[in-house]
Amino acid sequence: MLQKINELKSRIEGLTAASAADVEALRIQYLSKKGEVSLLFNDFRNVPADQKRAMGQALNELKNFATDKINSLREAVETTDTIDADLDLTRTSSPTPLGSRHPLSVVRDEIISIFSRLGFNVAEGPEIEDDWHVFSSLNFAADHPARDMQDTFFIQRNPDVLLRTHTSSVQSRVMEKTQPPIRIICPGRVYRNEAISARAHCFFHQVEALYVDRNVSFADLKQTLLYFAREMFSPETKIRLRPSYFPFTEPSAEMDISCNLCGGKGCSFCKGTGWVEILGCGMVDPNVLDACGIDSKEYTGFALGMGVERITNLKYQVKDLRMFSENDRRFLEEFTSAR
């Protein structure tokens, strides 16, 4: 009898139904008074007394199993009958065109991909920051202009809470918690108290990179920059470094690339010079390393930072920065192929 129970259970397990009528037919076949499960209960009287307990339990489990199976088939066909499987209730009444990735997202991801191939990992931090991570730990003087309210957004007139002005704050947070080697790239949105125009905005996007280890040199920085420029723009791209000043790097430099429109010959875009500035960089100042808990006598490092809007302008010749944040579909549709 146990063999009959197992065989019947196996058959019930494979049951299917396409309609409510099919389900009702299966219910009659297996669970009605003259159904196959009921007939097994009729045979129960012939089971030896010492097997009745085990057989009774097996029969009850079979009946429950058959009942659950029939009920699940009934729910399935009722759902199918009620809702058309081809009908998407989330669709709008009129066709909606497909969107595309934002040009800033396309360029940011490309920058991250290039540095990832050099072994840099992505690091992120809060946009609402404190003075230590944005300024003090990065060697900004107490009277530095960036600390003024006309340059920085402070929260509720609190001089210690502000919207970050650069993603260098992520670098200081990582250096505080991690000992070298450190090789990170920090993408994110930053804020500065500037008048909105075609060339400036009160918020924009940066990607910064940091590499700290033993014996890191300016030559390592230069080779990294050359690799990035040729991967981002073209294999023929040339770079040049001009001395500059940043509180958190020493020596510091600004990097230009040969104009990707005229090939360095001179045009209106590069103002006839053949060069276009794209980023700032330098060797991490020993004061910054020491402030973040890293021994500047043992470790050196370089840092670099660029505006994502600036790189996007160079790649796609977008002349008005406001276009990136106005959400104009006509503008965004121009980048559909960039997905």
pLDDT in tens, 249-281: 999 999 999 887 777 777 776 788 889 889 999
Q: What is the mean pLDDT of residues 172-198?
A: 90
* pLDDT, greater one: 145 or 23: 23
Give a yes or no: residue 256 inside a domain.
Answer: yes
Give a yes or no: residue 237 inside a domain.
Answer: yes
Residue 313 has pLDDT above 90, yes or no: no
User: In terms of domains, do 326 and 230 share one?
Assistant: yes
User: In terms of domains, do 33 and 124 share one?
Assistant: no
Tokens 């297996």, located at residue: 30
* pLDDT, greater one: 18 or 167: 167
Give a yes or no: residue 27 inside a domain.
Answer: yes
Residue count (the chain): 339
Give a yes or no: residue 94 inside a domain.
Answer: no
User: In terms of domains, do 26 and 109 share one?
Assistant: no
* pLDDT, greater one: 118 or 99: 118
Give a yes or no: residue 128 inside a domain.
Answer: yes
Number of folded domains that form the chain? 2
Q: Where are the alpha helices (DSSP H) in 209-264?
A: 218-232
Contact present, 239 and 257 (Cβ < 8 Å): yes
User: In terms of domains, do 23 and 171 share one?
Assistant: no
Picking from 22, 50, 82, the residue at the C-terminal end of a domain is: 82
- Residue 216 sits in which domain range? 103-338
User: In terms of domains, do 226 and 316 share one?
Assistant: yes
User: In terms of domains, do 149 and 254 share one?
Assistant: yes
Give a yes or no: residue 93 inside a domain.
Answer: no
The DSSP line for 98-131 is -----HHHHHHHHHHHHHHTTT-EE----SEEEH
Which phi and psi (to 5°) does residue 30 adopt? -110, -30
User: In terms of domains, do 180 and 231 share one?
Assistant: yes
What pLDDT sits at residue 315?
A: 82
Sign (positive or negative) of CA dihedral 327, 330, 331, 336: positive
* Mean pLDDT estimate for the chain: 84
Give a yes or no: residue 190 inside a domain.
Answer: yes
Cβ density class 179-208: b for 16+ within 10 Å, e for less: ebebbbbbbbebbbeeeeeeeebeebbbbb
| Residue 141 banded pLDDT, cuts 50, 70, 90 | confident
pLDDT tens-digit series, residues 212-226: 999 999 999 999 999
Q: What is the mean pLDDT of residues 29-58?
A: 75
Share of the chain above pLDDT 70, in %: 90
What pLDDT sits at residue 3?
A: 73
- What pTM does this model have? 0.67
Give a yes or no: residue 196 inside a domain.
Answer: yes
d(CA 339, CA 320): 22
User: In terms of domains, do 216 and 279 share one?
Assistant: yes
User: In terms of domains, do 277 and 190 share one?
Assistant: yes
User: In terms of domains, do 130 and 177 share one?
Assistant: yes
Radius of gyration of the chain from its Cα atoms, rounded to whole angstroms: 34
User: In terms of domains, do 161 and 37 share one?
Assistant: no
Q: Where are the alpha helices (DSSP H) in 32-122?
A: 36-43, 52-82, 103-116
What pLDDT sits at residue 194?
A: 80
User: In terms of domains, do 257 and 323 share one?
Assistant: yes
**Of 19-23, 116-120, 182-186, which gets the smallest average pLDDT?**
19-23
Contact present, 155 and 126 (Cβ < 8 Å): no
What pLDDT sits at residue 297?
A: 94
